[in-house]
Amino acid sequence: MRCFIGSILSEDDQRTIEKLKPDLNDQLVRWVKPSKYHLTLEFLGDDVKNEDLAQHWCTVEAWRSSFPITCTKVSYGGFPNRHRARVFVLFLDTEGRLEALRPEQRSFLPHITLGYARRKPIDIPDWSTMVRITIPAPSLIESRQGQYKKLESAAR
């Protein structure tokens, strides 16, 4: 199964982020539905086995004590970069608290995916603002055919 450790944002924060999207032509960007806004802390892969879930739950439980985490500032960004983006993201500034969960992964950039370039890479505007978004405690999440399902731990 395809799984990740992450946080699905509250409906209030989904609406807040939806209002932050720029006014770009829908022919340039395929926007993600607000109900899909989430933060991935660790992508576990496309073929996670049931017998491996217990070890991933240990990671989830270890991280939960650090949450909720408040984001105080957001900015537009893109992958691979802002000027030739295939993926349009909203970077989250949590003053290093999310990055501290993954100290061994220097390239971890906390973000919410807002959309995908439709035909060719796009140039994303340089923009940031102060905003309050609360990142809830993470869960182990299965992703199947574009739907997210929080998995329950057998130990719970």
Q: What span, in angstroms and rounded, lies between the C-alpha atoms of 65 and 138?
A: 10
Q: What span, in angstroms and rounded, lies between the C-alpha atoms of 20 and 132?
A: 12
pLDDT digits (tens, 9 = 90+) for 84-102: 999 999 999 999 999 998 8
Question: Are the C-beta atoms of 60 and 140 separated by less than 8 Å?
Answer: yes
The pLDDT, as a whole number, for residue 44 is: 94
Residue 156 in domain? no
The pLDDT, as a whole number, for residue 59 is: 93
pLDDT digits (tens, 9 = 90+) for 38-77: 999 999 999 999 899 999 999 999 999 999 999 999 999 9
Residue 135 in domain? yes
Using the predicted structure, report yes or no on whether residue 129 has a pLDDT greater than 90: yes
State pTM to two decimals: 0.92
Using the predicted structure, report yes or no on whether residue 116 has a pLDDT greater than 60: yes
| CATH number where 55 lies | 3.90.1140.10
Residue 64 in domain? yes
Please tell me the total count of domains within the chain: 1
Q: Are strands 69-79 and 111-117 parallel, antiparallel or unpaired?
A: unpaired
Question: Are the C-beta atoms of 97 and 66 separated by less than 8 Å?
Answer: yes
Residue 141 in domain? yes
Using the predicted structure, report yes or no on whether residue 156 has a pLDDT greater than 50: no
Residue 14 in domain? yes
Residue 105 in domain? yes
Using the predicted structure, report yes or no on whether residue 105 has a pLDDT greater than 80: no
The pLDDT, as a whole number, for residue 146 is: 85
Torsion, Cα 132 98 38 65, to 10 degrees, reads -90
Question: Are the C-beta atoms of 134 and 71 separated by less than 8 Å?
Answer: yes
pLDDT digits (tens, 9 = 90+) for 14-35: 999 999 999 888 899 999 999 9
Q: What span, in angstroms and rounded, lies between the C-alpha atoms of 125 and 138?
A: 30
Domain of residue 132: give its range. 3-150
Residue 28 in domain? yes
